[in-house]
Structure 1
Amino acid sequence: MKGLIWFRNDLRLADNPALVALSRRCTHALMVYVIDPAWLKPTRHQSRHLGRFREEFLYQSLRALERELKKRKQRLVVKVGNPLEIIPALCKQHQINYVAMTDHPGVYERQQVAYLERVLPCEVSVSESFTLFLRNQLPFEQSTFPQSFTQFRKHIEQQNTLPCIPISTPDSLPAAIQERRDIWGGQEFVYDLTPYHGGEDSALVQLNQFFWKSQGLKNYKKTRNGFDGWQFSSRLSAWLANGSISARMVVAELDNYEYRHGKDESSQSMFAELLWREYFQWMMHYHGARMFAFDGIKKKRPLTSFYCEKFKAWEQGTTEYPIVNACMRQLNQTGYMSNRGRQIVASCLVNELGVDWRFGAAYFEQQLIDFDVAANYGNWQYLAGVGADPRGQRHFNLEKQAKEYDPDGSFVARWAQASPSESLLKF
């Protein structure tokens, strides 16, 4: 049988049920990734879907995946174009009998799957591995999905719902079907992503570094609200976002850590953050396009609009708020901002500047190396008061935040004079 796997947000060989299913069913297969030029075009909220940092990280991840496939006598066929045209054309050309892919909660991602299931004349298999839990473990309707994270967590605990156990890499892969690859990833990048580097191997190195070598997890409860540095958080979010590592693999490592050292505040805080990620994934799964609506899942219109000058000042880090400016300049030069920083700048855009939250969410989508559609839009709705926060709109006291989390002013001072032409890479 001839097969095709369409890699999307599952750029790894380990814990990849779609790849395992393909390997069991097929003797020959195409391994495909499609780069859609639409990702690079500005949206109506003035930002691109894919910015330069994440674009480079993606290309690094694809090259890493290609190397791993090559070791197993396979190859990654990268195509450039509309995947809903390319995948059917490849299936027809090579007489494909079986198509495998991984499910994703994103609205457009699910629409793409539904379209291919309708038009392809062959069997289409959609596996679940982007989330900790399977769909049948969380039998909600849109109307019954928990309205707050606390309710979601209590449901998980009361039902004793356990994350899926990650599965191993297939022992062997089907033989490669020959197909021309398009030119991709050949442009010069002006940014150095160090210490980030895309790919499954790099993700596993960082997992080991944070959990074991640097003892970052041991100190996570104390350090997780930091702004700068590498070890104050796990930094796994970029690899989780494009699927170079799965959340299930991280939880399995966390279980291993707790088995050896016992549960503590830091390990529990780490699991809570992964559960927050999970909550937003299922929120998008159940609420769909409402995650992008101005009035959010609450259908509550915020008292904001779009003010070009205010938005540009926020975007470029030239507002009257030093802590906000430092965070935005860090983002613009590194593709990264801490979780605390993201909450602060989002609150500023919505509350101090009165700007439509969707413009901020779209800018994050463009700039963040670790952009995840559900987590990004879920968090922005939360801060704007149109999402999952039972308390309503979150309004941070910016001066108080700066004093509490940057008491000596070192973070603000470091980024105060930063300009886009500088290369401040040790973030």
Structure 2
Amino acid sequence: MKHNRVIVWFRNDLRISDNETLTRAIQSGIEIIPVYCFDPRMWAKTELGIAKTGAFRTQFLIESVDDLRKSIRNLGGDLIILQGKPEDKVVELAEKIQAKAIFFSQEVTSEEKDVDKSLESAAFAKGITTESFWQSTLYHIEDLPFPVSQTPEVFTHFRKAVEKMAKVRPSWKTPKTINYPSDLDFSLLGNLPSLLTYGLEKPDRDAKSWMEVEGGEQSGFGRLRSYFWEKDLLKVYKETRNGLIGMDYSSKFSPWLALGCISPRSIVEEITSYEKERKKNESTYWLIFELIWRDYFRFIAKKHGDKIFNIQGIKNQEDSWSRDKSQFEAWAEGMTGVPFVDANMRELNATGFMSNRGRQIVASFLVNDLGIDWTWGASYFESQLIDYDVCSNWGNWMYVGGVGNDPRENRYFNILRQAKNYDRNGEYVRIMIPELQAIKGFDIHQPWELSTSQLRSLKIQFGHTYPQPLRKIPTLEKAY
């Protein structure tokens, strides 16, 4: 059905490439009006008293929307920027400019779905059509070899099933032009907000940070080209992905994936080209493997709904969690007295990013060593992570909390064993915790093993220059 005017409401699909919503709108509408709406609820305070969306993620979002506007202008269109509740503002705009349809991408978790329902209801009351499209995953929801309600509870079963019985659809072609109405009032375009709009301060670029990312589709594809072709790093991804130092031990695609600046299908198509032109090995497959994990958590979230946010998780498992705020704050600030944990948390606070290995380590420490409510950790990550993805974040935290999809019970990460495996000589900790950098070698991971005279000679004093450990952690022998 052809519509005279179609609003394309962008959400976590901030790109013009492989964007079914945009493409379908162009096919269905005579005139296309792209829209992004900054929803103030994204910056509400959580029960922990912190902003739901912190400065790093906000800055990346603003950059991504700005980049989207530039891309759309290059196609002959423009991006209208609204501020307020989308279910109100987008429908009000549609009525004002006489658009007869609103197209948007589907989300899976309750807050977003509630907005969808309200928007659809308000639009229906005004005689405005709505259409939504699934485009957040590598495998399309309609191509799964089982109904979403029967998504396997074990990742390996899911992976094997989709790899054997499902195919990745080809990506949608990037449009060459957008027919944007020439008679729209220029004042409707709106301006980008700033961090100050949400009471946030622009984060200083930390001198220790190697995390060089800028929001937007152009930057995302630039990173892809750099990692695959210019630096030729894909061929060693599996060997280096558990690294800690530098920009290139892993792909770092996650921030762009989280906001849909680049699609998983575009990445896989580039992997296929790389395999044909350069090399096909375990590493090229392993990046696809990680994208399947991302799919898995999204389908699990759709299957289980709000259970992924509940402390009992999808296992409906009761537990007696601690809610010691002082210990939680020490963890959040990187002041637990356990160097490997503190180093990772300080990187997160300074850059908005932490390695996958680091995330597992700090989550295990919060849950298993301190016994603190895993949902507090998930909430803190939601605020801080530049690559926050609601399904992956809460799915992974459920996993660590023992109430998710982990087939193993009581998965515990021995901090010292992890340190020995991934930071044997302490280079990472030495960068992130300068007050301990005088300690040589592996001893930096266990400063409590040094004598008082040794610590004094290094000008380190527990409780003064560095905190006493909150918990006595297991030795290397008791390892996972």
Q: TM class by shorter-chain length?
A: over 0.9
Tell me which amino acid in the other structure corresponds to 1:191. D
Q: Is the CA contact 2:69–2:79 (under 8 Å) kept in the aligned structure 1? A: yes
Pick aligned residue for 2:177 from 155, 172, 176: 172
Q: Is the CA contact 1:45–1:359 (under 8 Å) kept in the aligned structure 2? A: yes
Displacement after TM superposition at 1:302 (Å): 3.2
Do structure 1's residue 191 and structure 2's residue 199 form an aligned pair? Answer: no
CA distance in 2, matches of 1:196, 1:300: 39
Q: Is the CA contact 2:21–2:103 (under 8 Å) kept in the aligned structure 1? A: yes
CA gap 1:250/1:142 in 2 versus in 1, 3 angstroms: closer
Tell me which amino acid in the other structure corresponds to 1:295. Q
SS at match of 1:304: coil
Displacement after TM superposition at 1:165 (Å): 1.2
Counterpart of 1:424 in structure 2 is: none
Counterpart of 1:30 in structure 2 is: 33
Counterpart of 2:441 in structure 1 is: none
Q: Is the CA contact 1:141–1:286 (under 8 Å) kept in the aligned structure 2? A: no
Tell me which amino acid in the other structure corresponds to 2:427. S
Counterpart of 1:332 in structure 2 is: 349
1:373-417 residue CA offsets vs partner (Å, 9 max, x unmatched): 001001001111100101023211001101110001010111113
SS at match of 2:104: strand
Do structure 1's residue 298 and structure 2's residue 315 form an aligned pair? Answer: yes
CA distance in 1, matches of 2:423, 2:380: 24
Q: Is the CA contact 2:8–2:102 (under 8 Å) kept in the aligned structure 1? A: yes
Displacement after TM superposition at 1:318 (Å): 0.5
SS at match of 1:29: strand
Displacement after TM superposition at 1:201 (Å): 0.7
Displacement after TM superposition at 1:144 (Å): 2.2
Displacement after TM superposition at 1:38 (Å): 1.6
Counterpart of 1:56 in structure 2 is: 59
Tell me which amino acid in the other structure corresponds to 1:166. S
Counterpart of 2:413 in structure 1 is: 396
User: Structure 1 length normalisation: TM-score?
Assistant: 0.94
Displacement after TM superposition at 1:145 (Å): 1.7
SS at match of 2:35: strand
SS at match of 1:27: strand
Tell me which amino acid in the other structure corresponds to 2:155. F
Displacement after TM superposition at 1:22 (Å): 1.1
1:19-58 residue CA offsets vs partner (Å, 9 max, x unmatched): 1111122222321111111211211243322110010011
SS at match of 2:315: coil
Q: Is the CA contact 1:220–1:233 (under 8 Å) kept in the aligned structure 2? A: yes
SS at match of 2:234: coil
Do structure 1's residue 253 and structure 2's residue 266 form an aligned pair? Answer: no
CA distance in 2, matches of 1:115, 1:163: 32
Tell me which amino acid in the other structure corresponds to 1:127. F
Q: Is the CA contact 2:76–2:177 (under 8 Å) kept in the aligned structure 1? A: no
CA distance in 2, matches of 1:139, 1:302: 35
Tell me which amino acid in the other structure corresponds to 2:82. K
Do structure 1's residue 119 and structure 2's residue 119 form an aligned pair? Answer: no
CA gap 1:321/1:169 in 2 versus in 1, 3 angstroms: same
Displacement after TM superposition at 1:119 (Å): 2.8
List aligned pairs for 1:11-410, cutoff 5 A: 11-120=14-123, 121-138=127-144, 140-141=146-147, 144-159=150-165, 161-176=166-181, 177-178=184-185, 180-186=188-194, 187=196, 189-192=202-205, 195-410=212-427
SS at match of 2:255: helix
CA distance in 1, matches of 2:139, 2:254: 18
Displacement after TM superposition at 1:258 (Å): 1.8
SS at match of 1:300: coil
User: Structure 2 length normalisation: TM-score?
Assistant: 0.84
Tell me which amino acid in the other structure corresponds to 2:218. D
CA distance in 1, matches of 2:159, 2:278: 24
CA distance in 1, matches of 2:250, 2:117: 37
1:110-135 residue CA offsets vs partner (Å, 9 max, x unmatched): 22223323331222111121111222
Displacement after TM superposition at 1:285 (Å): 1.4
Tell me which amino acid in the other structure corresponds to 1:53. F
Q: Is the CA contact 1:329–1:418 (under 8 Å) kept in the aligned structure 2? A: no
CA gap 1:139/1:86 in 2 versus in 1, 3 angstroms: farther
CA distance in 2, matches of 1:29, 1:2: 6
Mean CA deviation greater in 397-406 or 301-310: 301-310
Mean CA deviation greater in 125-134 or 315-324: 125-134
CA gap 1:312/1:252 in 2 versus in 1, 3 angstroms: same
Q: Is the CA contact 1:302–1:384 (under 8 Å) kept in the aligned structure 2? A: no
CA gap 1:139/1:125 in 2 versus in 1, 3 angstroms: farther
Displacement after TM superposition at 1:291 (Å): 0.9
Report how many aligned residue pairs link the two structures: 418
Counterpart of 1:423 in structure 2 is: none
Displacement after TM superposition at 1:237 (Å): 0.3
CA distance in 2, matches of 1:107, 1:140: 23
Displacement after TM superposition at 1:140 (Å): 4.0
CA distance in 1, matches of 2:293, 2:278: 24
CA gap 1:140/1:48 in 2 versus in 1, 3 angstroms: farther
CA distance in 2, matches of 1:359, 1:157: 35
Mean CA deviation greater in 281-290 or 112-121: 112-121
Q: Is the CA contact 2:148–2:299 (under 8 Å) kept in the aligned structure 1? A: no
1:51-77 residue CA offsets vs partner (Å, 9 max, x unmatched): 100100111111111111111221111
